[in-house]
A and B are shown apart, each in its own frame.
Chain A
Amino acid sequence: MPKVTGRPDIPTVLVTTLLAGPVLAGLAGSLLPALGYLPVLGYDKFSTTPFREFISTPGLGRSVLLSFGTGLAASVISLAIVLVFIAGWSSTRTFRLLTRFLSPLLSIPHAAAAIGLAFLIAPSGFLVRLFSPWATAWTRPPDILVLNDPYGLAMTFGLVAKEVPFLFLMTLAALNRPHIQDYFRAGASLGYGRMASFFKVVLPQIYPLIRLPMLAVIAYSTSVVDVAQILGPTTPSPLAPRLVEWMNDPDLSKRLMASAGAVLQLCVSAAALLLYLMLERLCAVVLKLRYASGRRHKRENLARKSGLFVMVAIISAMVLAIVVLGLWTVAKSWWFPAALPQRWSLNRMSDAFSMGGPALSATLAIAIVAALIATALTLWLLEARSFRNVRTGRRLNLLIFLPLLVPQVSFLFGLQVLFLITGLSGTFTSVLLAHLIFVFPYAFLALSDPWKRLDPRFAKAAASIGASRVQIFWKIQFPLLLRPILVTFAVAVAVSVGQYLPTLMVGAGRIVTVTTESVALASGGNRQVAALYALLQLIIPFAVFSLAAIVPSLIFRNRSAMRLER
């Protein structure tokens, strides 16, 4: 294909503006109020007051430590679980079976997962009910702080349960690189155990591909709001949920304080990232020293079995959490310590459906439009780059990951202020734009690998018989990639549905989705309604993922090469 230069690369410029623009503008919009400058509210002089007021908030140190500790611990534990499991079990039957469970778990929004897990592990939750009163002798919920515990253990657990599927699928994609399976064999034929082959031979080669997703997980976990509100400690809360509270305070001067906090949140997440990078270096050095030792590590049974056990435990917890959500939505009365509801009813479900109708349609509208735009833009970007023979290198990857590497609160505060000033706050457009910032990176992540794997000779063959660039795209590339394109669309929908903070901040209470509703309801007493909204969050991605699986099978039912490999 000809190399085109000189003309501006429109999609790259567009993506840069879409991603870097809001992040940088948002950061500036948080920094200025933090320095006391917010003219719309009448603060037009720089001062250190917001910072001083913020620093003197009681319990601040503990909040910071909680954010830092739970976030970093959850990320590192998740990665360890994923790596040990993959090292011990990849390309076995067990592995393929569990993979089938892990992929759908990825599409569960954080808030829904947290609510389900809360109903599972709470003192009055499903697990305690299963063993009460016959084993525990409890006839009323025990007075123990399992949920919202002061050390954030429940919150860490919730984060791990959600990040494990994500890191797992990222690592799985990295293992798809050419020849990687041969390196497993090379290790084994030299006498190395499965796990030793993975850690010494395979992991060093694929780690660069897992690194950015891992950093995104750290940035997210150290600044998470919805999971923290549902499962996290409350006296005090971690930093991010406290900031959101101040931001929504009727006392507008608290916004300056919250902005100062947003700047601190940026530092907290940056410190966590930095500590992780140091840890990573250390591990690399230790590993390197061991390459030459020749130790085969053949006794790996215990490690393999523990890896499997932990993975199965996480999958079971998530599946159980969804089942419990389902039970609550059809329960009319379900008193402690009954393991199952005493009376069932579908009435509440239809009530809540009519009540949640507007939220559901808003969620759906935003998700579908955002997913359409993100998928189209990703295709445009990938097509333009391969047409120009530009490789999607590190710089572009870093740019696309930028919104995921900066804590959401840190720039959403500023973005909210900007939308307020421009009068866009609380509109469909502004919420859509805020969602796109987070949806696009995942769409790109989902599609760039399948695009790279598409044999370029198909396009060349079409070009050589006179097909135009437009024809090549619509007649060759698009149909060949229909399956991954639909999966990308589904991923994008799932990501959009799961967005809590962007909807809350930019929607300003006027745009309400099932996700913002369910987080608000989670702390209330009505489990039935909270469960129903959480379930509504699941239904949309599940429906879209099912469509993404069914449509290509129908279209290509007579094309055996277009089926998935076994």
Chain B
Amino acid sequence: MVSTPPLSGLVLEHVAIRLDGKLLLEIDCHIQPGKILTIMGESGSGKSSLLDFIAGFLRPVFEAKGRVFLNGQNLTTMPAQDRHIGLMFQSPLLFPHMSVLQNLMFAIPHHIKGRSIRREMAEQALTDVGLTGFSARDPATLSGGQQTRVALMRTLLADPKALLLDEPFSSLDQTRRADVRELVFQLAKKNNLPALLVTHDAEDARAAGGMVHWLDDSRNQNGCTGSVQPQEF
């Protein structure tokens, strides 16, 4: 059966990932632009390998079936750097040898020429997340919440076509968490990006307000199908 994928959004078509022949997860889903799909599951349920598969980092020990489409384009065999998928990690991963500004300018596409224009874009991004005046700072001197906000802007400045969020709020304390989360979701919607959030925190899922896909059981809703066999420990 050959189907034509929708021309917009992120499509996971009959994706199944196995390790040593054992099924880790199965998912079949379409994420519309500006919408967030939340994937819930305990650690060890294969959440990270799904993100690795979509972003192009899946290690060869895993065996993956199915295809990934982004805005109608098949990504499945493309190298990671050509996929235009923005990734936010569990830790902000700001490059410690660069200043905050260099971190941001590093992400701006090369076709945007002119040092002053690039610089202005980066400064504007800082202002957008309430960090005006932080450009010359060493990333290590920023608080966890500030680092996550810079990491978010770094991801967005690279002009991605989709967002993958790998528990990016898990390192933040409870008070900052809600603010940063709100900011990430708001910007993803504003940029009209399909986003996939992986978390084990039900609060994150509620705040995302989109579909929720459970890797642990069959409580799946909103058009996402797939199941996973219980893990043995």
A296 touching B110 by the CB < 8 A rule? yes
**B84, B89, B118: most-surrounded residue (chain A CB, <10 A):** B89
Q: Which residues of A contact B57 (CB under 8 A)?
A: 185, 188
B91 touching A179 by the CB < 8 A rule? yes
A189 touching B87 by the CB < 8 A rule? yes
A189 touching B115 by the CB < 8 A rule? no
Tell me the complex Cα distance, A188–B158, Å. Answer: 11
B106 touching A291 by the CB < 8 A rule? yes
Q: Which residues of A contact B85 (CB under 8 A)?
A: 189
Tell me the complex Cα distance, A200–B84, Å. Answer: 19
B60 touching A292 by the CB < 8 A rule? no
A183 touching B93 by the CB < 8 A rule? yes
In A181-200, which residues have CB < 8 Å from any B CB? 182-183, 185-194, 197, 200
A190 touching B89 by the CB < 8 A rule? no
Partner pick for B80 among A185, A204, A295, A296, CB 8 A cutoff: A185
Which range contains the number of A residues in contact with the other chain? 20 to 34
A188 touching B118 by the CB < 8 A rule? no
Q: Known: A182-B89, A183-B93, A292-B105. Contact between A190 and B80, CB under 8 A?
A: no
In B83-108, which residues have CB < 8 Å from any A CB? 84-87, 89, 91, 93, 95-98, 101-102, 105-108
Q: Which residues of B contact A201 (CB under 8 A)?
A: 95
A186 touching B105 by the CB < 8 A rule? no
- B61 contacts partner chain A, Cβ-Cβ < 8 Å: yes
Tell me the complex Cα distance, A296–B102, Å. Answer: 15
Q: Which residues of B contact A194 (CB under 8 A)?
A: 81
Q: Which residue of A lies closest to B98 (CB)?
A: A291
- A42 contacts partner chain B, Cβ-Cβ < 8 Å: no
- B2 contacts partner chain A, Cβ-Cβ < 8 Å: no
In A165-223, which residues have CB < 8 Å from any B CB? 179, 182-183, 185-194, 197, 200-201, 204-205
B100-133 CB mask vs A (1 if < 8 Å, else 0) is: 0110011111101001001100000000000000
Partner pick for A190 among B56, B102, B158, CB 8 A cutoff: B158
A179 touching B81 by the CB < 8 A rule? no
Tell me the complex Cα distance, A498–B61, Å. Answer: 39
B156 smallest CB distance to A (angstroms): 11
Q: Which residues of A contact B106 (CB under 8 A)?
A: 190, 200, 291-292, 294
B87 touching A186 by the CB < 8 A rule? yes
Q: Known: A93-B60, A188-B57, A294-B106. Contact between A183 and B82, CB under 8 A?
A: no
- B30 contacts partner chain A, Cβ-Cβ < 8 Å: no
A298 touching B82 by the CB < 8 A rule? yes
B105 touching A294 by the CB < 8 A rule? yes
Q: Is the interface of A mostly helix, strand, loop or mixed?
A: helix
Q: Which residues of A contact B101 (CB under 8 A)?
A: 292
Q: Known: A292-B118, A295-B110. Contact between A189 and B98, CB under 8 A?
A: no
Q: Which residue of B lies closest to A294 (CB)?
A: B110
A292 touching B102 by the CB < 8 A rule? yes
B150 smallest CB distance to A (angstroms): 13
Tell me the complex Cα distance, A294–B56, Å. Answer: 21
- B154 contacts partner chain A, Cβ-Cβ < 8 Å: yes
Q: How many residues of B contact A (CB 8 A)?
A: 35
- A422 contacts partner chain B, Cβ-Cβ < 8 Å: no
- B195 contacts partner chain A, Cβ-Cβ < 8 Å: no
A188 touching B115 by the CB < 8 A rule? no
- B197 contacts partner chain A, Cβ-Cβ < 8 Å: no
B87 touching A185 by the CB < 8 A rule? yes
B95 touching A188 by the CB < 8 A rule? no
Q: Which residues of A contact B105 (CB under 8 A)?
A: 291-292, 294
Tell me the complex Cα distance, A426–B24, Å. Answer: 66
Q: Which residues of B contact A296 (CB under 8 A)?
A: 81, 109-110
Q: Which residue of A lies closest to B94 (CB)?
A: A186
A186 touching B89 by the CB < 8 A rule? yes
- B55 contacts partner chain A, Cβ-Cβ < 8 Å: yes
Q: Which residues of B contact A558 (CB under 8 A)?
A: none
In A281-329, which residues have CB < 8 Å from any B CB? 291-296, 298
A205 touching B97 by the CB < 8 A rule? yes
Q: Which residues of A contact B86 (CB under 8 A)?
A: 189-190
Q: Which residues of B contact A453 (CB under 8 A)?
A: none
B51 smallest CB distance to A (angstroms): 10
Q: Which residues of A contact B118 (CB under 8 A)?
A: 292, 294
Tell me the complex Cα distance, A293–B106, Å. Answer: 7
B161 smallest CB distance to A (angstroms): 11
Q: Which residues of A contact B80 (CB under 8 A)?
A: 185, 188-189
- A566 contacts partner chain B, Cβ-Cβ < 8 Å: yes
**A-B contacts, 25 listed (Cβ < 8 Å):** A182-B93, A185-B55, A185-B80, A185-B89, A186-B93, A186-B95, A187-B81, A188-B55, A188-B57, A188-B80, A189-B80, A190-B154, A191-B81, A191-B84, A201-B95, A205-B95, A291-B102, A292-B101, A292-B105, A292-B115, A294-B107, A294-B108, A294-B112, A296-B109, A298-B82
Show the binding face of B for A, using Cβ within 8 Å.
Answer: 55-57, 60-61, 79-82, 84-87, 89, 91, 93, 95-98, 101-102, 105-110, 112, 115, 118-119, 154-155, 158
The 4 A-B pairs of least Cβ separation, nearest first, read A292-B105, A189-B87, A204-B97, A188-B80
Show the binding face of A for B, using Cβ within 8 Å.
Answer: 93, 179, 182-183, 185-194, 197, 200-201, 204-205, 291-296, 298, 566
Given contacts A188-B57, A192-B81, 13 further A-B contacts (CB under 8 A): A182-B93, A186-B87, A188-B81, A190-B86, A190-B155, A194-B81, A204-B97, A291-B105, A294-B107, A294-B109, A294-B118, A296-B109, A566-B61
